[in-house]
């Protein structure tokens, strides 16, 4: 049952729920964020966080006593913050801040302007994921710091490849594809054949002839069939079959790079709950691939793209894929039940996992907020960019005096706005484990709109 508060929440956040779903929004709404450093940039970050529906925010300020302009900041906060619960202000307290347990109250920490000693302190401890952001004049930077790899459950790939398994269909699928295949003796129904069956039939023809199964060969083969059928094969489905001919040349035994990489992180130590859950799924996947059921093929996604065909043929094909997907999930479930997990992997979670399995990603955040030392062995970064980064970090941590309005160093307000927007955007990706966040540092210039990303 959905009560009126949830539905008005859903209405308010409707436009972003369309990006990351209700589940993504639920994560954001319950996430606890700590912002360290009170300055104009953190004001903008606060505003953006609240707009996305993050209400559990703690702001760690430096010593209040020396601060004369706190009233101005408060005015600014009132102006920028949308409706919502108040922010929890905490003054920097050395003893408290030295305790990792204080920081583990949060799901993510955002660091803006902070003195070197204090940033160093944070850097020494093993803390939840951190986003370190700063801008000065027209340069800005952002770094994603974490002590463990970050798994992305759903990267929302822009170009998804349909998971059709035309190279190695299981029996059920093979039968369906064969019986649907375009047939010279029933020319009046040729236009009702889904393209998957046209491609498969071409693949079969090529194999029988001993010809290599490549995209171009499949395409050529389809053309020949089409010509032999005459005008009845001039339909959309044949055009689609040629367009998607590459689907017949895929090798479903080869595990995509992104998933291979995830598998290689299957056993590294991990602390964060969502990462642990996804890692457990990856371990289960690893066992699944080795199982007699899978024979090294990924679980079937289960959904198929739109194909021009009769509804009957389409639905028949669809149900074959759905049946197999359900079977595969069942196997995963069996493997999961043998794993010793201190949390439950529900059928729903496994379903979501399988449906987006090609969207699975893992990335490596920076281990340190402070790596400003230029190392030629690190990922290539041009010296000029390195200089900018160094300049920014110096300003960020250097000679830090309590937060007056003049700090961070004067720059255009628009740069704060852009930097905050980028920071909170990455924060949402990290917390929802959807979309791929920055790996792991980027620099940008607000004048030239130039951006440069690199790994440290």
Residues of this chain, 321-360, that bind another protein according to CB under 8 A: none
Angle at 112 between CA 455 and CA 433, to 5 degrees: 55
Cβ closest to another protein, residue 248 vs residue 446: 446
Cβ closest to another protein, residue 331 vs residue 385: 385
Q: Shortest distance, CB of residue 389 to another protein, whole angstroms?
A: 15
Q: Shortest distance, CB of residue 16 to another protein, whole angstroms?
A: 5
Contact residue for another protein among 129, 299, 435, 456 (CB under 8 A): 435
Q: Shortest distance, CB of residue 355 to another protein, whole angstroms?
A: 15
Q: Shortest distance, CB of residue 110 to another protein, whole angstroms?
A: 13
Contact residue for another protein among 44, 107, 136, 148 (CB under 8 A): 44
Q: How many CB atoms lie within 10 A of CB 402?
A: 18
411 touches another protein (CB under 8 A): yes
Interatomic CA distance for residues 60 and 146, integer angstroms:
20
Cβ closest to another protein, residue 351 vs residue 425: 425
Tell me, letter by letter, the H, E, C secondary structure of 308-336: CCCHHHHHHHHHHHHHHHHHHHHHHHHHH
450 touches another protein (CB under 8 A): yes
- Considering only residues 124 to 143 of the shown chain, the ones binding another protein according to CB under 8 A are 137-138
DSSP states of 44-107 as a string? HHHHHHHHHT--EEEEEES-STT-S-HHHHHHHHHHH--SSSPPEEEE--HHHHT-HHHHTT-S
386 touches another protein (CB under 8 A): no
Q: Shortest distance, CB of residue 449 to another protein, whole angstroms?
A: 4
Interatomic CA distance for residues 322 and 303, integer angstroms:
7
* One character per residue 246-285, x = contact with another protein (rule: CB under 8 A): ----------------------------------------
Q: Is 338 exposed, middle or buried (0-12, 13-18, 19+ CB in 10 A)?
A: exposed
307 touches another protein (CB under 8 A): no
Cβ closest to another protein, residue 105 vs residue 346: 346
315 touches another protein (CB under 8 A): yes
Query: 221 Cβ partners below 8 Å, 6+ apart?
Result: 202, 205, 206
Contact residue for another protein among 250, 285, 428, 431 (CB under 8 A): 428
190-226 in b/e form (b: 16+ CB < 10 A) is bbbbbbbbbbbbbbbbbeeeeeebeeebbbbbbbebb
Candidates 97-105, 310-318, 347-355, 385-393; binding stretch for another protein (CB under 8 A)? 310-318
117-151 in b/e form (b: 16+ CB < 10 A) is ebbeebbeeebbbbbbbbbbbbbbbbbbbbbbbbb
- Considering only residues 62 to 101 of the shown chain, the ones binding another protein according to CB under 8 A are 72, 75-76, 79-80, 82-83
């Amino acid at each position: 049952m959905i009560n009126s508060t949830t539905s008005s929440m859903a209405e308010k956040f409707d436009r972003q729920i369309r990006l990351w779903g209700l589940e993504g929004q639920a994560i954001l709404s319950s996430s606890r964020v700590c912002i360290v450093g009170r300055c104009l940039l953190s004001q903008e970050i606060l505003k953006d966080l609240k707009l996305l529906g993050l209400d559990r925010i703690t702001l760690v300020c430096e010593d209040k006593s020396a601060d004369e302009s706190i009233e101005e900041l408060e005015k600014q906060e009132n102006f920028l913050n949308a409706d919502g619960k108040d922010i929890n202000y905490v003054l920097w307290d050395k003893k408290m801040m030295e305790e990792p347990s204080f920081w583990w109250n949060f799901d993510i920490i955002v660091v803006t302007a902070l003195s070197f000693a204090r940033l160093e302190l944070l850097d020494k401890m093993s803390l939840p994921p951190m986003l370190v952001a700063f801008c000065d004049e027209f340069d800005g930077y952002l770094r994603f710091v974490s002590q463990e790899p970050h798994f992305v459950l759903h990267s929302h790939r822009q170009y998804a490849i349909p998971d059709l398994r035309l190279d190695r269909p299981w029996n059920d699928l093979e039968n369906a594809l064969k019986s649907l295949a375009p047939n010279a003796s029933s020319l009046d129904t040729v236009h009702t054949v889904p393209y998957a069956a046209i491609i498969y039939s071409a693949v079969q023809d090529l194999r029988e002839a001993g010809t290599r199964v490549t995209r171009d060969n499949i395409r050529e083969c389809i053309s020949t069939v089409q010509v032999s059928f005459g005008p009845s094969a001039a339909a959309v489905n044949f055009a689609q079959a040629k367009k998607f001919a590459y689907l017949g040349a895929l090798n479903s035994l080869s595990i995509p790079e992104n998933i291979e990489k995830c598998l290689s992180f299957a056993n590294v130590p991990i602390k964060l709950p969502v990462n642990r859950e996804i890692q457990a799924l990856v371990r289960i996947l690893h066992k699944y691939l080795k199982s007699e059921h899978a024979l090294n093929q990924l679980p079937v996604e289960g959904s198929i793209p739109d194909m021009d065909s009769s509804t009957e043929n389409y639905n028949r094909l669809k149900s074959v894929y759905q049946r197999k997907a359900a079977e595969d999930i069942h196997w995963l479930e069996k493997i999961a039940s043998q794993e010793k997990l201190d949390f439950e992997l529900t059928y729903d979670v496994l379903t979501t996992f399988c449906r987006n399995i090609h969207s699975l990603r893992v990335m490596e955040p920076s281990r340190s907020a402070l790596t400003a030392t230029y190392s030629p062995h690190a990922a290539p970064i041009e010296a000029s960019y390195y200089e900018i980064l160094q300049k920014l970090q110096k300003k960020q941590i250097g000679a830090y005096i309590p937060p007056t309005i003049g700090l961070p160093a004067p720059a255009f307000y628009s740069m704060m706005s852009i930097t905050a927007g980028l920071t909170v955007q990455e924060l949402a990706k990290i917390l929802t484990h959807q979309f791929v966040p920055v790996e792991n540092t980027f620099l940008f210039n607000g004048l030239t709109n130039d951006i440069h990303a690199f790994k440290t």
